[in-house]
């Protein structure tokens, strides 16, 4: 697989830190069983135009 070269600064670590903080808060909600980070975090690259993609998993009562 060919490695893609990005032009912008990689802000992955900043986005990952934010995702961890948000995930900790979401995980305290009753019924939440998991949180999945997708998008730039999943690819290992985030820039100024990236957003934070989190998918929440719940158990229905």
Output the pTM of the full model: 0.81
Per 3-state DSSP, what percentage of the chain is helix, strand, and coil (rounded to 5)?
A: 30, 20, 50
| pLDDT value for 48 | 93
| pLDDT value for 1 | 67
> What are the distances in angstroms from CA 52 to CA 3, 5, 12, 38, 58?
23, 21, 10, 8, 19
Tens digit of pLDDT at every position of the chain (61 positions): 677 787 889 999 999 999 999 999 999 999 999 999 999 999 999 999 999 999 999 988 7
The domain segmentation of the chain, as residue ranges, is 12-58
């Amino acid at each position: 697989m060919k490695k893609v070269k990005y032009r912008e600064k990689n802000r992955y670590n900043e986005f990952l830190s934010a995702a961890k903080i948000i995930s900790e808060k979401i995980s305290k909600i009753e019924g939440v069983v998991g949180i999945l980070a997708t998008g730039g975090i999943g690819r290992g690259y985030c820039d100024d135009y990236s957003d934070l993609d989190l998918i929440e998993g719940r158990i229905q009562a």
